[in-house]
Structure 1
């Protein structure tokens, strides 16, 4: 009984601390939003960024379903090459605004189910094992490394490899301080490529291309950074997954507004060959992440609940609203839990069908 009381008291203290953090941040956030969200978008483009076709259709129109920050976002699809892209695209300032708090902080909301399943250590070790048939690399650069959790896990599989990381956020320096990577480079790969040219045997991009302004430029920069004969490891969302049709806007892998591009596998393979790579391996089964049903239902239910307390909302919820949200969240948790269990039970089947939600590609950089 004392243990339960202590747990309740600890939870109450945590909630009070979160509410205070939100209250402290609210004035600055509201001042930023008072200027409107239109300034976060570039002008709408009339052609496909992948093939240049002007035959476009709207694939998705949605809001921020994870953090519930203001704004509306549109994904358009090319009718010629099937490339999907955010249009109008967020500006660098807009991307910084919407990425803020996405993984942690008082406004992360239900981001855990969306991001966490892709970033656990067991899955990272499985990804690292995919490179074993290609030999032990001497040096490995992880692009979009964040806190460098992937290199930390991959070192268990490749203990003699030197891991470095690139990321636009300050977390890459934390990865160095924690000993997860040896060198941390802050900035974009396209900016850093001339300085890092020819340094690495392996370069990994795990769900990174979707978040870049120009995926083709990223792939070209990776070609410059790799040594001849080095390997590029990519995992990315598969926009052809049947789950996208079944779940619509509640498909977790849309992740709007953070994902700027959804690249069909065929487009990526042809693009790699054009840039001077030879595709060595393609896999949908092991790249599949069992999260679609559980996260889709969690996002839909969260959309119906009373609003949470977040810095970008003009006023905090009342005590009654907080109580109602907590009670309804508890009441709906069995449904979400059952859907998440179904994801894992069905994974051996869905990962072998067109319901697979991601793909993995390993490509070798050709000799100059």
Structure 2
């Protein structure tokens, strides 16, 4: 049973949060009646990247962001070092765990967060600019609400940006004028309809969410003209922060991140699909948030839960007050972690701490 998608007059934006949560609770609890096991595919016994049977448990995590029920295992392939969620969420599970994250209850918060990353988006556009050639048409896959495209147009005023996303964010991006066209749907299904139309396809922190990353890369090849550029930015599982911070490393992001590809694996996959990598970037792809995010995740896990529709009942007043007190007590640690992130950032690549990497590849 899926939660009914509320109409505009009943959306979480148009009512107090506690009322929106209460309205969603019956559907969530009904869906959880059979337990979280119904949200997973059977466990696989080989690597989805290279097919090796030499795989083993690497990490086991709960949902540290939304705190929805369930436990998630990340396996590592000992042959190619690919990391992947195992067992993987099925279609029902993907729907359940994404719901109210980018839309619904989480829409306003996420829109504000992504909208406030202007400097990061500008740096991203400027970093790939030297490798784009005479680009005129660009589609940003996994565009969300199109904030990157809005900023990138200032760096590349002659480029027409389209945005593609599975969510209604793509349509909203078009309505807000952030993209020329907002394309809603699965990239692998839509790409044949605009084969060879684009000079640039970008996937910024999109591929790790995909159930079949290689099919997404094939779709990019289809959408690009000969000589066009593919820009891929993903979390770097080889970052030393992944080992130092363990379960508190934000880019694990379970259960959303299904695949974490070492850079060598992605380079090899692109080569096999007929791409030539023209740039590999680590420092400019790094976001200095690892330490502050780790502190926040730990505090949020330790403090009593806020009101959430997948909880059987709303926490009482005393429990909510205790949560507020615990989070306020953690403010000094958050401030120190923020300062440390900024101080370390200039040396992140030299220290092997970059939390992401970016590849620019040419379609031959």
Taking structure 1 as the reference length, the TM-score comes to 0.91
Q: Deviations over 1:302-322 (max 9, x none)?
A: 111011110000011111001
Deviation at 1:105, TM superposition (A): 4.5
CA distance in 1, matches of 2:221, 2:337: 41
The answer to whether the Cα contact below 8 Å between 2:111 and 2:145 also exists between their aligned partners in 1 is: no
Q: Secondary structure at the match of 1:228?
A: strand
Q: Secondary structure at the match of 1:150?
A: helix
Deviation at 1:188, TM superposition (A): 1.2
Deviation at 1:36, TM superposition (A): 2.1
Q: Deviations over 1:172-222 (max 9, x none)?
A: 111111111111211111111110100000000001000000111111110
| Residue matched to 2:5 | none
Deviation at 1:136, TM superposition (A): 3.9
Point out the more displaced range, 198-207 or 128-137: 128-137
The RMSD of aligned alpha carbons is 2.0
Q: Deviations over 1:278-315 (max 9, x none)?
A: 11000111111111111011101111101111000001
| Residue matched to 1:24 | 23
| Residue matched to 2:86 | 87
| Residue matched to 1:123 | 120
Name structure 2 gaps, 5 residues minimum: 1-12
Paired residues in the alignment total 350
Q: Secondary structure at the match of 1:307?
A: coil
The answer to whether the Cα contact below 8 Å between 1:76 and 1:87 also exists between their aligned partners in 2 is: yes
Q: Residue 235 of structure 1 is aligned with which of 233, 236, 260?
A: 233
Deviation at 1:28, TM superposition (A): 1.5
CA distance in 2, matches of 1:244, 1:117: 23
Q: Deviations over 1:308-356 (max 9, x none)?
A: 1100000111110011111111111111121111111111112333111
Q: Secondary structure at the match of 1:22?
A: helix
| Residue matched to 1:345 | 343
Name structure 1 gaps, 5 residues minimum: 1-13
Q: Secondary structure at the match of 1:321?
A: helix
CA distance in 1, matches of 2:162, 2:182: 6
The answer to whether the Cα contact below 8 Å between 2:114 and 2:147 also exists between their aligned partners in 1 is: no
Deviation at 1:135, TM superposition (A): 2.9
Taking structure 2 as the reference length, the TM-score comes to 0.92
Counterparts of residues 309-328 of structure 1 (less than 5 Å): 309-328=307-326
Q: Secondary structure at the match of 1:131?
A: helix
